[in-house]
Amino acid sequence: MAKYTIAPSLLAADFARLGEEASKVLQAGADVLHLDVMDNHYVPNLTVGPLVCAALRKYGIKAPIDVHLMTRPVDHLILEFAKAGASYITFHPEASDHVDRSLELIRQQGCKAGLAINPATSLQHLEHVWDKIDIVLMMSVNPGFGGQQFISSSLEKIAKARQLINESGKNIMLAIDGGIKADNIFDAARAGADMFIAGSAIFSQPDYATVIADMRAQLAKSK
Ligand code: DX5
Ligand code: ZN
């Protein structure tokens, strides 16, 4: 039976009450917190740095924190986020001059390592690093903003990535990020995703537990 991970993206949370929002969404049934780091360079938006990750830990958040680096370069921030309590660190291959080295750096810090694949990025980036990745993060929107429309061709890419992961024989999570909600999560799971990152679909609703329960009900159908 597949094990599914729901990872709310804090990008859509109320930043003025971030600790409270993070614990509320975990109490509502989330497994992991997704933290979108944007640098106004690799993507045209600016969000948070390692200080905010450390502040969440200080606040008492114990759940895994999944740091999604949409920054260029990545290596220095890998070190800083690992120190700040990140559990998983994912970056975009276009943003590192030495992808293999950056992946190794993440694992050396004791974190799980991920590669994020944009809608127009080839899955070939994964080809020589299967033994160095723990997560493939498939972008189903172009990175930079929350609340965008799900790009449906990403389902085909998810299916292809699932096939490649299965062929690799490795224990690698397949995450989908962007435009995920209760009414498309089933399709994403059926295509092979097992980790679902959702920002606006969760935080725009008054009751996070209801949305997460709806999502889990949809996921249960795909087993
Ligand atoms: C986009 C981010 C996503 C985004 C998800 O650059 O990587 O994590 O915040 O937000 P929604 O679910 O609103 O598309
Ligand atoms: Zn993200």
What are the sequence ranges of the domains in the chain? 5-221
Whether 66 is a known active-site residue: answer no
Query: Which CATH fold topology does 5-221 show?
Result: TIM Barrel (3.20.20)
Q: What is the chain's pLDDT, residue by residue, as a tens digit (223 residues)?
A: 459 999 999 999 999 999 999 999 999 999 999 999 999 999 999 999 999 999 999 999 999 999 999 999 999 999 999 999 999 999 999 999 999 999 999 999 999 999 999 999 999 999 999 999 999 999 999 999 999 999 999 999 999 999 999 999 999 999 999 999 999 999 999 999 999 999 999 999 999 999 999 999 999 998 6
Ligand 1 centre distance from Cα of residue 12 (Å): 8
Question: b/e string for 46-80 if b means 16 or more Cβ within 10 A?
Answer: ebbebebbbbbeeeebebbbbbbbbbbbbeebbbb
CB 46 within 8 A of CB 54: no
Q: Which residue's alpha carbon is at the smallest distance from atom 3 of ligand 1? A: 178
- Pocket around ligand 1: residues whose beta carbon is below 6 Å from it? 9, 11-12, 34, 36, 68, 70, 141, 143-148, 177-180, 197-201
CB 196 within 8 A of CB 175: yes
CB 119 within 8 A of CB 140: yes
Whether 177 is a known active-site residue: answer yes
Ligand 2 centre distance from Cα of residue 104 (Å): 21
Ligand 1 atom at minimum distance from 38 CA: 6
In whole angstroms, give the CA distance from residue 170 to residue 177: 21
Helical pair 50-59 and 75-83, crossing angle rounded to 10 deg: 10
Ligand 1 atom at minimum distance from 200 CA: 13
- Full-model pTM: 0.98
Ligand 2 centre distance from Cα of residue 42 (Å): 13
